[in-house]
């Protein structure tokens, strides 16, 4: 071999090693289902052929969504085998693994414990730690080693469309104490945690999945409200911090937090002293993707101080752009090596049993006792418990955001089946319900659409990403007044949003039974309807 050929070969080897190092810092999205045909979101979830190829090229992490707990156990084993190296395998399971993967524990949203903390702080803290332990046990059982929680945002804006009940509190002290307790429980069971969304997404009225929110607060306000929960989580030893896609002109007037050296390197690394993994929020979100291409967004994030790039719009474009930035001197190779070392160190710190293959036959047996305790502790009831008045001709008026995205409402869900057994025929309202409303502020409901009989109103509302606004914009207060005047309101059940519950409850006379649960899952429905005098029959048995 000539010297020129040898030099070319060495350069080729160097390029391959650099691309593999670069790939290690990428976390791609995949379905928890095994086959391509089962993907729920093909736009973001790679087909198996591409996924396997990227993992063999060195991609270091996968975020998963969809499937049952036993299927996910098989999937994580498959992904580890394709990679041939330890992977970070994560999911957004802020409300227990069962929130995303059927068959595991599905727990009430974190804000439920924030409300409990106001009246029973010791109980709330103990339950938050148990919540973390339960989530970790389920995660390990299905092969996940990284949970993208706790949310450390302070939800002090009830109109927040994207955080809302995902937060642990509405004030910094509560949010910080409970997020830290969750972190201790989670990581004590051998799973990595992730505090998000730094430096604080709680006081926004825009959804960063759709646009770039702007937080105009000065540094003093950030120190008083937004930053304390992150300080608490860092003090509790949280393994990772996720960035927020929002603009904070007081910290960086040019770039959003995810792409800001002032925020990630100056504030998070320098002032808060965080030495763990820094991961971006998903770069496919419009707050970033509408302003930067996949490659440039990834490079900017690493320049700012991120270690891991989550869900770039095009993984190969991101890898190529990062490698080119190193080749040009824009990024240093040492910078990438430091991030890779943090990733490997986080994985190496997991217990051995956290890295063994999960057994799909024993994947995430749900902790029914904790799930029931959380529902019972956070249930709120007003009015006397009594059988709801119906002679078999009642109306079960159910409001959900989207019927196709309501996993809490299977056919046998108590909100449907228990109400039907009590004589309430279902009237399901989903998505756009403009035909329901008359436009009359005094009598907004089209009662002729409902038919005759007493009406049980069940509202499944909460802040949800991608909708662009918080729940509760429809005139339910006036609608309840209309039903009361017609002597047709049998009872009210609110699932999810405490803000809608607080808005509607004062409008009801004490003789009308009403109940609220922060949870929307069947177990919460069972508790709410029992409180209203509608008992689930022997076929219920929901233990989520």
Residues with catalytic roles: 209, 281
d(CA 447, CA 51): 52
Contact at 8 Å (CB) between 108 and 517? yes
Contact at 8 Å (CB) between 393 and 175? no
Q: 216 CB contacts (<8 Å, ≥6 apart)?
A: 249, 250
Token pair, residue 368, equals 């029914």
Q: 427 CB contacts (<8 Å, ≥6 apart)?
A: 395, 396, 397, 398, 449, 450, 451
Question: By CB neighbour count within 10 A (0-12 exposed, 13-18 middle, 19+ buried), where does 404 fall?
Answer: exposed
Give the CA distances from residue 210 to residues 44, 75, 162, 241, 288, in Å, rounded to whole numbers and listed in that order: 15, 30, 10, 22, 9
- What contacts 24+ positions apart, CB below 8 Å, involve 79-82? 79/30, 79/51, 79/55, 80/143, 80/357, 82/51, 82/52, 82/55, 82/56
Token pair, residue 512, equals 């009308």
Please state at what angle helix 414-421 crosses helix 522-531, rounded to 10 degrees.
30
Question: For 253-314, what is the HEC assignment?
Answer: CCCCHHHCHHHHHHHHHHHCCCCCEEECCCCCCHHHHCCCCHHHHHHHHHHHCCCEEECCCC
Give the CA distances from residue 285 to residues 290, 297, 352, 417, 538, in Å, rounded to whole numbers and listed in that order: 8, 11, 35, 38, 45
Give the DSSP letter of residue 154: B
d(CA 493, CA 510): 14
Side-chain half-sphere exposure of 336, counting CA atoms within 13 A: 26
Contact at 8 Å (CB) between 33 and 73? no
Token pair, residue 514, equals 């009403």
What are the residues facing 439 on neighbouring strands? none
Phi and psi (nearest 5°) for 242?
-100, 140
């Amino acid at each position: 071999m000539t010297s020129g050929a040898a030099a070319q070969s060495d350069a080729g080897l160097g390029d391959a090693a650099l691309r593999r190092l670069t790939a290690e810092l990428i976390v791609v999205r995949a379905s928890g289902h095994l086959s391509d045909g089962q993907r729920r979101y093909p736009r973001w979830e790679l087909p198996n052929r591409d996924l396997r190829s990227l993992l063999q090229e060195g991609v270091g992490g996968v975020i998963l969504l969809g499937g049952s707990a036993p299927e996910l156990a098989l999937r994580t084993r498959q992904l580890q085998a394709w990679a041939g190296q330890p992977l970070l395998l994560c999911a957004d399971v802020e409300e227990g693994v069962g929130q995303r993967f059927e068959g595991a524990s599905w727990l009430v949203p974190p804000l439920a414990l924030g409300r409990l903390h106001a009246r029973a702080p010791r109980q709330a803290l103990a339950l938050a730690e148990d919540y973390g332990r339960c989530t970790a046990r389920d995660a390990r059982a299905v092969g996940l080693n990284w949970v993208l929680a706790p949310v450390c945002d302070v939800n002090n804006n009830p109109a927040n469309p994207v955080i809302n009940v995902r937060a642990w509190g509405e004030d910094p002290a509560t949010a910080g104490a409970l997020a830290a307790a969750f972190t201790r429980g989670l990581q004590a069971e051998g799973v990595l945690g992730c505090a998000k969304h730094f430096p604080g997404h709680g006081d926004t009225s825009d959804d960063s999945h759709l646009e770039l929110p702007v937080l105009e607060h000065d540094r003093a306000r950030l120190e008083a409200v937004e930053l304390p929960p992150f300080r608490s989580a860092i003090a509790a030893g949280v393994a990772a911090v996720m960035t927020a896609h929002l603009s904070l002109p007081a910290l960086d007037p040019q770039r959003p937090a995810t792409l800001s050296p002032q925020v990630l390197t100056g504030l998070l690394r320098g002032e808060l002293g965080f030495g763990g993994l820094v991961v971006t929020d998903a770069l496919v979100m419009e707050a970033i993707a509408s302003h930067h291409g996949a490659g440039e967004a990834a490079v900017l994030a690493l320049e700012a101080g991120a270690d891991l790039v989550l869900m770039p719009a095009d993984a190969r474009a991101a890898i190529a752009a990062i490698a080119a930035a190193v080749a040009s001197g824009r990024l240093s190779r040492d910078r990438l090596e430091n991030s890779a070392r943090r990733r490997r160190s986080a994985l190496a710190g997991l217990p051995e049993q956290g890295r063994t293959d999960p057994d799909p036959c024993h994947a995430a047996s749900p902790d029914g006792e904790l799930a029931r305790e959380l529902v019972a502790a956070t249930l709120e009831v007003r009015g006397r418990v009594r059988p709801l008045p119906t002679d078999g001709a009642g109306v079960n008026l159910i409001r959900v955001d989207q019927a196709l995205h309501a996993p809490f409402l299977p056919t046998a869900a108590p909100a449907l089946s228990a109400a039907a057994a009590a004589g309430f025929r279902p009237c399901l309202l989903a998505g756009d319900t403009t035909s329901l409303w008359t436009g009359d502020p005094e009598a907004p409901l089209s009662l002729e659409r409902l038919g005759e009989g007493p009406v049980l109103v069940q509202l499944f509302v909460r802040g949800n990403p991608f909708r662009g606004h918080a729940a509760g914009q429809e005139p339910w207060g006036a609608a309840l007044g209309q039903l009361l005047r017609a002597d047709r309101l049998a009872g009210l059940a609110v699932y999810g949003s405490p803000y809608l519950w607080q808005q509607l409850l004062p409008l009801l006379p004490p003789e009308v039974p009403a109940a609220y649960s922060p949870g929307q899952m069947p177990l919460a429905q069972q508790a709410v309807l029992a409180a209203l005098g509608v008992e689930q029959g022997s076929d219920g048995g929901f233990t989520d």
